[in-house]
Amino acid sequence: ANLRMADVVVINKVDTARPEDVEAVKASVTALNPRATVGEAASPIFVDDPAAILDKKVLVVEDGPTLTHGGMSYGAGVVAAQRFGAKDIVDPRPYAVGSIIDTYRKYPGTGALLPAMGYGDKQTQELGETIAATPCDLVIIATPIDLRRVVKIDKPCVRVRYELEERSYPDLAAVLKSRLAKG
């Protein structure tokens, strides 16, 4: 229903998708909502110290909802690990504690990634315990917040962020301004 009513649709992550998949999404959007303006965007990653990843056994902490309810099999942390030459992604499941074990049971597709499911006291404590118990050379933090602010991590870490990079013209701001001006 949202797609059929949308004035603007932005297809994101076109930098990592296959071109034919992007075209298929565009065709679907146009078929379902021919009056919508369709734009493209990328989500390039930024790592605070990419060289630190090279040849390391890494623990990747991803945004939990992306891996669970979002249905994604990986996020920005895995992209960084692969792009910057990690030796291996360490599986944290054998070292998980508390609610993290429950998350793995409920979402087995999470795989060898550590989902950060929340930032309450209990959740951050269990996340910290799981990180501490997982044998790795480096922790790749790919969560919306910098976990080091809420979890004590006694291992080397790098942080991965991403931003929206518009790839189409007119850009989103111009399209929205035009649509809003029409009332």
pLDDT tens sequence across 104-156: 999 988 889 999 988 889 999 999 999 999 999 999 999 989 999 999 999 99
Specify whether the backbone of 71 is left (phi greater than 0), alpha (psi in -120 to 50) or beta. left
Question: Is 55 in the same domain as 14?
Answer: no
Read off the pTM.
0.82
Which residues make Cβ contacts (< 8 Å) with residue 2, sequence separation at least 6?
none
Q: What is the mean pLDDT of residues 158-163?
A: 94
Q: Per DSSP, what are the bridge partners of residue 172?
A: none
Signed CA dihedral, 105, 154, 63, 113: sign only: negative
Number of structural domains the chain divides into: 2
Q: Is the pLDDT of residue 183 over 70?
A: no
* Cα 87 to Cα 52: distance, rounded to the nearest angstrom: 11
The reply to whether 22 and 56 lie within a common domain is no
Are 68 and 142 in a shared domain? yes
Cis peptide before 170 (omega within 30 of 0): yes
Residue span of the structural domain in which 19 resides: 2-44+164-182
68 and 138 in a common domain: yes
Q: For the chain, give the percent of residues with pLDDT over 90.
A: 69
Q: What is residue 70's predicted lDDT score, i.e. its pLDDT?
A: 73
18 shares its domain with 69: no
- Tell me the per-residue pLDDT of 7-60, one tens digit each, with 9 for 90 and over: 889 999 898 889 999 999 999 999 999 999 899 999 899 999 999 999 999 999
Interatomic CA distance for residues 73 and 29, integer angstroms: 24
The tokens describing 26, both together, are: 């565009």
Question: Do 11 and 85 have their domain in common?
Answer: no
Q: Is residue 86 pLDDT above 80, yes or no?
A: yes
Under the banding of pLDDT at 50, 70 and 90, the label for residue 64 is confident
For residues 87 and 133, membership in a common domain is answered with yes
83 and 152 inside one domain: yes
Higher pLDDT, 157 or 107: 157
CA dist., res. 81 & res. 89, Å (int): 8
What is the rounded CA–CA span in Å between residue 98 and residue 112? 17
